Structure 1
Amino acid sequence: MSRYESASHVYYRCQYHIVWTPKYRLKILKGNLGKELYRSIYIYSNMKNCKVVELNVQVDHVHLVVRMPPSLSISKYMGFVKGRTAIRLFNKFPYLRKQKLWGNKFWQRGYFVDSVGMNEEIIRRYVRHQDRVGKEEEERQMHLGLSN
């Protein structure tokens, strides 16, 4: 596989590490809801001609490394993915709408994004092993008595 993608008049390699969270950073992205979100991100990324390189859905946030065409801005991509996944999750899991705190919004407003360059393998490994890092940090906090 080539390192670069191509379109009619361009060769490119636009790759980004993106992190976003559910509203109030609630720990709800687990079980069937987490699996559905995982599938949905692949589906909606494909619809925008984006390639998911790494994806890790944690209980309270999502890590994604994605390759996208230069014709698509990150903000448009994130608006599309967050909007469509929210609609899909609200429809598949109606109990979410019953909680008044959502206000018909599933995701926090913002997100983190960083371009992936020479440190691609480090970032991919970080995303892949996010669950281990989270568990180790939780255990450390429990040991120190900081967890609620």
Structure 2
Amino acid sequence: MEYELDAGAHSVYSLDYHLILTIKYRRSVLNDERMVLLKEIAKSVSESYDVHIKNMEHDEDHVHILFRTKPTTEIPKYINVLKSATARKMNDEYADEWQDKLWNGVFWSPSYCLISTGEVSLEKLTEYVEQQGVA
């Protein structure tokens, strides 16, 4: 098994995540033009948290973000700041265009989906761990 590893002072790690954010009420407000601004804001926020966005794509009502981070990153705090900053800027720029779809300046749904990812499947990893210690 091979991993793409990062190193800290006293550790090595590989921490990749898949984050899914949905628009409030699952309203269809995203398009390619709006994603340009959303990606710029997300990149800026991520740099300040030492998070590397590997990929970020969208549908009309949700966003998928694949990112890599360090063990010291406060992931819930990062996600909350990411959602706040992007919502504020998106509303500043586009609120007039979607005022009939999103009310009171609420852009994101309050929930999110965060999935840890790996370079091997959970099934393969389980098999590997089960084989440890077997002579």
TM-score in terms of structure 2 length: 0.76
Matched residue, 2:104: 103
Correspondence 1:16 to 2:17: yes
More moved, 87-96 vs 24-33: 87-96
Kept after mapping to 1: 8 A contact 2:17/2:117: yes
For residues 104 and 114 of structure 1, do their structure 2 counterparts lie closer, same or farther at Cα, with a shift above 3 Å needed? same
Determine whether 1:59 maps to 2:60. Answer: yes
Q: Which has the larger radius of gyration?
A: 2
**Displacement of 1:90:** 1.5
Cα root mean square deviation, aligned: 2.2
| Structure 2 residue ranges without an equivalent (≥5) | 122-135
Q: How many residues align?
A: 119
The CA distance in 2 between the partners of 1:15 and 1:29, in whole Å, is: 25
Identity over aligned pairs, percent:
26
1:123-138 to 2 correspondences below 5 Å:
none
Misfit runs of 4+, over 4 Å: 96-101
What is the distance in 1 between the residues matched to 2:115 and 2:65?
Answer: 11
Map of 1:48 onto structure 2: 49
Distance in 1 separating the partners of 2:52 and 2:34 = 22
- In structure 2, the partner of 1:90 is 91
C-alpha spacing 1:8/1:98, structure 2 compared with 1 (3 Å): same
Equivalent residue letter for 1:48: Y
Normalised by the size of structure 1, how large is the TM-score? 0.70
Give 1:96 shift: 5.5
Q: Where is the helix percentage greater, Structure 1 or Structure 2?
A: 1
Contact kept in structure 2, 1:20 and 1:62, CA below 8 Å? yes
Q: Which has the higher strand share?
A: 2
Give the Å deviation of 1:26.
0.7
Residues in 2 aligned to 1:43 and 1:74: alpha-carbon distance in whole angstroms = 16
RCO higher in structure (CA 8 A, sep ≥6): 2
Give the superposition deviation at 1:97. Answer: 7.8
